[in-house]
Every structure is written in structure tokens, then in C-alpha cells.
Amino acid sequence: MMMFLGGLIFVALLVFLFRAISWNGCAHRGAYQPHLPQPGRSSSGLHALDERYARGEINREEYLQKKQDIQGDLSAFQNRG
């Protein structure tokens, strides 16, 4: 029984160490990359804007202006790559 408990603790420790190292390693390797919209895919910004308009948080004029701003930004990213 004691060997089983010791083995279980050892495995749990290994899992913990592996997750800690891999999680911290992402930050150091520059793995974080901001979400860049891809052609043919909906932007999360447009989705959020649609939701705000649907909830009545912004009026039609604000919605159309912001949508145009976002889509202008999207075309700038699409022209880069």
C-alpha cells in the first residue's frame, strides 16, 4: 500500500512539473501571438460589435462607423500577407 501511494505521489509530481514547465515555457519562447484575422474568417471584433448592436448598446450610426473601421483594419492585415 505504501509503495502504491508513493508511486501515485511521484506520478502526480511529474505531471505537475511537466505542466508548470510547459506553461512557463510558452511565455519565454514568445509563443503568445495576438489574434490576426485571416481571410475568409469572421473577426472576433466584428462579432463583438454585432452583439453590442443587437443588445442596443450602440446605435446604427456607431455600429456602421465601427464596422467600417474594423473592416478597414482587416484589409490592412490581409494586404500584408
How does DSSP assign 10-79, residue by residue?
Answer: HHHHHHHHHHHHHHHHHHHTT--------TTS--HHHHHHHHHHHHTSS-HHHHHHHHHHHHHHHHHHHH
Statement: residue 81 has pLDDT above 60: no
pTM listed for this prediction: 0.40
CA-based max dimension of the chain: 71
Domain range annotation of the chain: 44-81
Would you state the cell numbers that stand for residue 11, as one nine-digit string?
506520478
How confident is the model over 27-67, as pLDDT tens digits? 555 554 445 555 555 578 889 999 999 999 999 999 999 99
Which pLDDT score is estimated for 1? 76
The CA distance from 35 to 32, in Å, is 9
- Residue 24 or residue 22, greater confidence: 22
Which pLDDT score is estimated for 40? 53
